[in-house]
Amino acid sequence: MSYEIFQADCFDWLSDQPKNSIHGVLTDPPYGLIEFSRKELDKLRNGRGGGVWRIPPTIGGCRRDPLPRFTVLSEREKSNLREYLRDWGQALMPVLVPGAHVFIAGHPMLQYLVQTGMAEAGFEVRGAIMRLYTSFRGGDRPKGAEQEFAEVSVTPRSACEPWMLFRKPLSERTVAENLRRWGTGGLRRLAVDKPLPEAIASGRTPENEAAISDHPCLKPQHLLRILARALLPLGCGVILDPFLGSGSTVAAAQAVGYDAMGVEIDETYFIQAKEHHIPCLAALYPDFTGDRLDWKPSTPITLPNMACALSLTYPLFAG
């Protein structure tokens, strides 16, 4: 197993890749498109709110993670998101082998835009895997009138995160024939008698993983390893994350035993992923390769992983 990562715009990178060279995609794109712009990233890294990013207040002594506020997106920005996913899907399509699956992390408010854009690009919409976890998102009372409307919530309290699933159309008549030719077309089962379910209970990202990377969108290795493993039904091929971020997807693929590639446009995130995040996250939990749902880490941070966490030289937040 091996991996390669590139600092580049994923559209430019995809245009240079050979056709039928990638067997699956696992990624978390920038849904607001502007939240990872230089202006918004500078605000985030300096620990300031405003704009797209909201720095939530501390509750019960617990510091809450920064949140991108998708409710501030205008209708034009929402249309831009759909068009962006359509254009990205069109750029991705020729690079994938027929029958390759694509997992895209989502948000319930934006799911329809992503699915519409990918369908317009020619992908089959294959539903979603729901990550079940407790979150502070949603459930808020009307702002500025919390006491007046004490029994009212503006939105439900979030308890799930959709990972939308898409498939490049098969080139063969049946899934079986496509598997024989390309090794794709289906999802790898957890075991012979256990298919991948539509809902996976996967809690908040553990503290030892957050100690390695404080990327604002860091997903837990528990979930990523399960999804990465499922992408290659015959256990061979290459997984791509075109929005590398923390490098957690590539780390998960390495832990599972798959080859992987990643693309990241931001220099700071790229350096962090290359020098620290991928090797440190991949080294966690050597007994877990994404083949079961009920796994939980049995040990705290080991000394090598603690060393990884302490060696970070590119902190996202100052002060």
> Is there a contact between 263 and 13 (Cβ–Cβ < 8 Å)?
yes
Q: Is residue 265 part of a domain?
A: yes
pLDDT of residue 72: 62
79 inside domain: yes
pLDDT at position 267 over 90: yes
d(CA 71, CA 13): 31
Residue 107 is part of a domain; what is its CATH number? 3.40.50.150
Count of the separate structural domains present in the chain? 1
Q: On the CB side of 190, how many CA atoms lie within 13 Å of its CA? A: 18
Between 54-63, 125-134, 142-151, 256-265, the lowest mean confidence (pLDDT) is in 54-63
- Do the Cβ atoms of 183 and 232 come closer than 8 Å? yes
> Is 160 contained in some domain?
yes
pLDDT exceeds 90 at position 212: yes
- Cβ contact 3:260 at 8 Å: yes
Answer for the pair 56, 136: CB distance below 8 angstroms, yes or no. yes
CA 223/CA 249 separation, integer angstroms: 10
**Which pLDDT score is estimated for 216?**
86
User: Which residue has better confidence, 61 or 250?
Assistant: 250
pLDDT the model gives residue 247: 98
Q: Which of 62-71, 199-208, 301-310 has the lowest mean pLDDT?
A: 301-310
Distance from chain centroid for Cα 58: 25
Write out pLDDT tens, residues 77-98: 889 999 999 999 999 999 999 9
**What is the rounded CA–CA span in Å between residue 65 and residue 137?**
10
- Phi first, then psi, for residue 204 (nearest 5°) are -60, 155
Please state, in angstroms and rounded to a whole number, the distance separating the CA atoms of residues 115 and 166: 8
* Residue 65: pLDDT band with limits 50, 70, 90: low
Specify the pLDDT at position 31: 75
Q: Does some domain include residue 316?
A: no
Domain interval for residue 84? 3-310
Query: Mean pLDDT throughout 96-125?
Result: 96
d(CA 305, CA 283): 7
Q: Please state the φ and ψ torsions of residue 41, each to the nearest 5 degrees.
A: -65, -35
Residue 280, amino acid:
C
Strand partners for 25: 102, 240
Q: Does 315 fall in a domain?
A: no
pLDDT of residue 311: 43
Is pLDDT of 17 > 70?
A: yes
Q: Is residue 275 part of a domain?
A: yes
Distance CA 100, CA 169 (A): 8
| Ramachandran bin of 200, using left for φ above 0, alpha for ψ from -120 to 50, beta for the remaining angles | beta
Mean pLDDT of the chain: 86
Q: Tell me, yes or no, whether 317 lies in a domain.
A: no
How is residue 314 written in tokens?
A: 């590119």
Establish if 134 belongs to a structural domain. yes
Torsion of CA 15, 16, 21, 26, to 10 degrees: -60
Task: Please say whether the beta carbons of 277 and 219 come within 8 A.
Answer: no
Q: In this structure, what token pair is assigned to residue 200? A: 């996976």
pLDDT recorded at residue 58: 47
- pLDDT exceeds cutoff 70 at 52: no
**Dihedral of CA 136/66/245/308: which sign?**
negative
- C-alpha separations of 145 from 152, 228, 294 in Å: 10, 44, 42
